[in-house]
Amino acid sequence: MSTGAKDHAQLSDIFNKDEARVDWHDETLWFVRAKRDKAANSLPEWEALRETASQIKDNVLSNLHDYLLQFEANAEKNGIKVHWAANGEEHNKIVHSILKESGVNRIVKSKSMLTEECHLNDYLHKNDIEVIDTDLGERIVQLAEEPPSHIVLPCIHKKKEEIGDLFHKHLGTPEGASDPVFLTAAARDHLREKFITRKAAITGVNFAIAETGEFVVCTNEGNADMGAHLADVHIACMGIEKIVPLRKHLSVFLRILTRSATGQPITTYSSHFKKPRPGQTMHIVLVDNGRTTQLGREDFRNSLKCIRCAACMNTCPVYRRSGGHSYHTAIAGPIGSILAPNLDMKNYADLPFASTLCGSCSNVCPVKINIHEQLYKWRQVIVKEGYADPKKAMAMKAMDFTLSNPSIYKFAGKAGRWVLKHAPFTVNNKLNLWYKHREMPESPKQSFGEWYKQNNKND
Amino acid sequence: MTSREEILAKIKTNQPGARPLPADLTTVPGGMESIMQFKTVLSAIGGAIVEVANFEEITKYIQQEFKDKKRLISTLPELGSVTESGWENKDPHSYEDVDLAVIKAHFGVAENAALWITEDLMQQRVVPFICQQLAVVVNKVDIVATMHDAYNKIGDAEYGFGSFIAGPSKTADIEQSLVLGAHGPKTMTVFLLG
């Protein structure tokens, strides 16, 4: 996503201009978080499920090499063609070459955050291939020429009236129509025509089973199935960390995925693709794109356990009030903020700071990723590597100098108190970021040190 | 070096020391009675439950409730008198105008009202997704409690495609308003048999 060179704070400022919308966004996501709580609390074994899911994923990361080979061998035995892509560009080239070989220039695609990460749509568009996103929320942001702002609820930032306007412009619905039932029916008709006429379908992958070579795709709308079962060519794109060792492990992940995401007991469709249907060709593209690097970062490799439920976003006080687009990366929110700096530390140096470190994300994470601790660790890495915002780095340096030098610390305190009392205008201005949403405190007469000395003397 | 070799080599260097797989989870006893729970959850996710004693009752129900529908298909020979014959093995696109499809499930899961259906029970993979309305027949005795029981039942069964289907297709992408009938069936009826 191109945002000029704006960072999270600046992009949040844009989102925060409309206070009523921020409140609405905040409340909508909190509503989803509350549904998650209800679903989680209804299972007495919830914590055991989280622990088991976490341990299965630990095992996957520790044995990823062999599991990938096992998956590849079994998938090929099942008649699926397996491809390997080192990065986003190679992934896009592979997908393009499959389509070219099949003589297809119009395709349907169901939700895949990996293809967002690789900017597949842009790439195919430049190569004269039309991509229709078929998840309703993704179709809406595609018509609006925006990226998704949330990995589960792609157009959560949009009001129904805005969606009505988009549909009026692109699908010919009556002007002013904004009823969700009406708009969904219009999208159903519009997209049915695409499903019926397109010869190739791309889907994401939620889980890929090493033991059997099958992969599972979860949707509520049924769009992945409509695309895949009608197309002559099915291409499934997945990050290498999506592997699960055994088929029976799906029971654990399917129990926690949607309960964490939307509070549903399961998605409407949990489809297990094992073999292409007769006459169909099926491809899987296994993508690295930085994942093997993250695997080698001991402090951050746990982020690869993520199953993309978005619970950490829905609960995050910063995400709810800054909107998904403020993260200027495909995966927003707390988990996105620990994944993105791995790919490009300089460009995403701002993201680990877009958090209060309250820890709510780690508490709701169904695979027990220590998200807020990793955010804190990224901050240290980013400052050490010299990628921190220069203003922030300078302030930290000044703080370090002051705090490690007692006489300067005492003088600084005195000077601060004098300034607050006699020249408040020097700090009560726009240049002081701290003042932006706060009043400066009243200046105390003396420091605690001075008070202690005085009172000790009197004793 | 190919990308495949490069990725695998990098993983080998970077992956952490071996971590064991955890013990299997099993169903925690003491939950709601399974059939009761299945019915409650199915209604909550927008499905309709019809309890029947035999296929005659299903036939009668279809005649009554779907009498204005033009194209009814089924994989169940017991429903031959009310459904189209010779619809099988056509181009999957040709099922676009199917109003009602009636198929059978291997079993249902009480905790989420999902029904496990494999390709052999669909006749064509697209059938349960492309039809306007879906009905699924499942035996009362084939309702299991949780997904752990479900995968124990599936075991190492062989299939080309299989799906857990739970309720009608739905979306809440527009302002979190739940709408039934996104791309797949607008309704789902479950005939609970026995």
Exposed, middle or buried, A391 (CB in 10 Å: 0-12/13-18/19+)?
exposed
B128: distance to nearest CA of chain A, Å?
A: 9
pLDDT class of A2 with cuts at 50, 70, 90: very low
Q: Would you call A268 and B125 a contact, using CB atoms and an 8 Å cutoff? A: no
User: Can you give the pTM of this predicted structure?
Assistant: 0.93
Give A-chain residues touching B148 at CB under 8 angstroms. 248, 251
Helix A390-403 × helix A406-422 angle, to 10°: 120
Look up residue B119 and give its two tokens.
């390709």
Residue of A433 and A148 predicted with greater confidence: A148
Query: pLDDT tens-digit profile of A209-255?
Result: 999 999 999 999 999 999 999 999 999 999 999 999 999 999 999 99
Amino acid present at B131: C
Q: Would you call B166 and A268 a contact, using CB atoms and an 8 Å cutoff? A: yes
Amino acid present at B107: F
B9: distance to nearest CA of chain A, Å?
A: 8
Amino acid present at A244: V
Pick the range with the lowest mean pLDDT from A20-24, A85-89, A453-457.
A453-457
Q: Are B168 and B46 in contact (CB under 8 A)?
A: yes
Q: Would you call A56 and B21 a contact, using CB atoms and an 8 Å cutoff? A: yes
Nearest CB to A221: which of B17, B119, B182?
B182
Look up residue A337 and give its two tokens.
């903020």
Q: Are B106 and B153 in contact (CB under 8 A)?
A: yes
Q: Is A458's pLDDT higher than 70? A: no
pLDDT class of A401 with cuts at 50, 70, 90: confident
Per-domain residue ranges of chain B: 31-193
Architecture of domain B31-193: 3-Layer(aba) Sandwich (3.40)
Q: Are A92 and A115 in contact (CB under 8 A)?
A: no
Residue A3: its pLDDT value, please? Answer: 52
Q: Phi/psi zone of residue B95: left (φ > 0), alpha (ψ -120 to 50 degrees), beta?
A: alpha
SS3 annotation, chain A: CCECECCHHHHHHHHCCCHHHHHHHHHHHHHHHHHHHHHHHCCCCHHHHHHHHHHHHHHHHHCHHHHHHHHHHHHHHCCEEEEEECCHHHHHHHHHHHHHHHCCCEEEECCCHHHHHCCHHHHHHHCCCEEEECCHHHHHHHHCCCCCCCCCCCCCCCCHHHHHHHHHHHHCCCCCCCCHHHHHHHHHHHHHHHHHHCCEEEECCCEEECCCCCEEEEECCCHHHHHHHHCCEEEEEEEHHHEECCHHHHHHHHHHHHHHHCCCCCCCEEEEECCCCCCCEEEEEEECCCHHHHHHCCCCHHHHHCCCCCHHHHHCHHHHHHCHHHHCCCCCHHHHHHHHHHHCCCCCCCHHHCCCCCCHHHHHCCCCCCHHHHHHHHHHHHHHCCCCCHHHHHHHHHHHHHHCCHHHHHHHHHHHHHHHHHCHHHCCCCCCHHHCCCCCCCCCCCCHHHHHHHHHHHC
Query: pLDDT tens-digit profile of A174-196?
Result: 999 999 999 999 999 999 999 99
For residues A393-401, give the mean pLDDT. Answer: 80
Q: Which residue has the tokens 């998956």?
A: A71
Residues 6+ apart with CB under 8 A from A2: none
Q: Would you call A51 and B22 a contact, using CB atoms and an 8 Å cutoff? A: yes
pLDDT class of A439 with cuts at 50, 70, 90: confident
Chain centroid to Cα A188, Å, comes to 27
Q: Which residue from B93, B134, B140 is spatially nearest to A268, judged by alpha carbons?
A: B134
Chain centroid to Cα A135, Å, comes to 17
A49: distance to nearest CA of chain B, Å?
A: 8
Query: pLDDT tens-digit profile of B88-105?
Result: 999 999 999 999 999 999
Instruction: Work out the number of other CB atoms within 10 angstroms of the CB of residue A286.
Output: 26
pLDDT by position in tens, chain B (length 194): 899 999 999 999 999 999 999 999 998 877 679 999 999 999 999 999 999 999 999 999 999 999 999 999 999 999 999 999 999 999 999 999 999 999 999 999 999 999 999 999 999 999 999 999 999 999 999 999 999 999 999 999 999 999 999 999 999 999 999 999 999 999 999 999 99
Q: Would you call A221 and B183 a contact, using CB atoms and an 8 Å cutoff? A: yes
Name the DSSP class of B105: -
Instruction: Work out the number of other CB atoms within 10 angstroms of the CB of residue A407.
Output: 7
Instruction: Work out the number of other CB atoms within 10 angstroms of the CB of residue A323.
Output: 23
* Interface with B, mutate which of A29, A142, A184, A287 (most B CBs under 10 A): A184
Give A-chain residues touching B29 at CB under 8 angstroms. none
Name the DSSP class of B135: E
Q: Would you call B182 and A51 a contact, using CB atoms and an 8 Å cutoff? A: no
Residue pairs between chains A and B whose CB atoms are closer than 8 Å: 236
**Long-range pairs, A161-168, Cβ under 8 A, ≥24:** A163/B174, A166/A140, A167/A143
For residues A159-183, give the mean pLDDT. Answer: 97
Give A-chain residues touching B22 at CB under 8 angstroms. 51-52, 55-56, 59
Q: Are A247 and B151 in contact (CB under 8 A)?
A: yes
Q: Which residue from A337, A383, A327, A339 is spatially nearest to A357, judged by alpha carbons?
A: A337
Q: Which residue from B52, B19, B179 is spatially nearest to A62, judged by alpha carbons?
A: B19
Q: Would you call B18 and A140 a contact, using CB atoms and an 8 Å cutoff? A: no
Look up residue A145 and give its two tokens.
């020429």
Query: pLDDT tens-digit profile of A121-140?
Result: 999 999 999 999 999 999 99
